[in-house]
Amino acid sequence: SQTIHQWPATLVQPVGSPLSLECTVEGTSNPNLYWYRQAAGRGLQLLFYSVGIGQISSEVPQNLSASRPQDRQFILSSKKLLLSDSGFYLCAWGIGVGANVLTFGAGSRLTVL
Amino acid sequence: KQEVTQIPAALSVPEGENLVLNCSFTDSAIYNLQWFRQDPGKGLTSLLLIQSSQREQTSGRLNASLDKSSGRSTLYIAASQPGDSATYLCAVIDAGGTSYGKLTFGQGTILTVHP
């Protein structure tokens, strides 16, 4: 069966510090991978998606970047965090262009102080 | 640009009531629509997925309908229980070759079922 893992679950970082959130998927090959952010009082916003190794598409301009070094690994990074980067980050995976269920990880709570 | 709206923003009901959550979307060219449940501080759990060619899906006490032409979906919860308390999110995947399964979410409905 397929599973998705995210870590760390919770992170408190000072402004200006770097960030690395990791997401891995098991039990499937060549998934589409996604990073969403849920900020306080706002809905879920798609940040990045990837349809293959090394292929990253950004949906919104921001202080963050994403990388996909392996087929089932998706990393969200920042060189210098801003207060506005605080939020709940969710990784998800799916197969195909849109006919299937998207499965989400448990999320990573980032607080920037 | 696709926009998804959910009404009401919050709902509080006594246990045992049947209830309806509403979702509307502006662009009817979609692949599918999903309903998710989110418990506080947790990830999303997929409840139901309705393909664009379908009219409804059922799972236990949950029934979701889709009227694609009018851009609407409803989630019906029968005989609500306190364990149903959560935020319910509606999301669509736009049709088209560049959608790549990207979901556009509504803001959610916060449901509280009290004993």
Per-residue pLDDT of chain B (115 residues; tens, 9 = 90+): 899 999 999 999 999 999 999 999 999 989 899 999 999 888 999 999 999 999 999 999 999 999 999 999 999 999 999 999 999 999 998 887 666 778 899 999 999 999 9
d(CA A43, CA A25): 24
pLDDT score of A24 more than 60:
yes
Which chain A residues touch B94 with a CB distance below 8 Å? 98
Q: Which of B46, B94, B107 sits opposite A101 (nearest CB)?
A: B46
From chain B, pick out residues whose CB is under 8 angstroms from the CB of A57: 100
CB contact under 8 A, B102 and A103: no
CB proximity A56 to B under 8 Å: no
Cβ-defined contact of B46 to A43 (cutoff 8 Å): no
Q: Which of A90, A97, A106 sits opposite B101 (nearest CB)?
A: A97
Output b/e per residue, A81-108; b: 16+ Cβ within 10 A: beeebbbbbbbbbbbebbebebbbbebb
A104/B93 touch (CB, cutoff 8 Å), yes or no = no
Q: Do B43 and A104 touch (CB under 8 A)?
A: yes
Whether the pLDDT of residue A11 is over 60: the answer is yes
Q: Could you check whether the bond before residue A8 is cis, i.e. omega within 30 degrees of 0?
A: yes
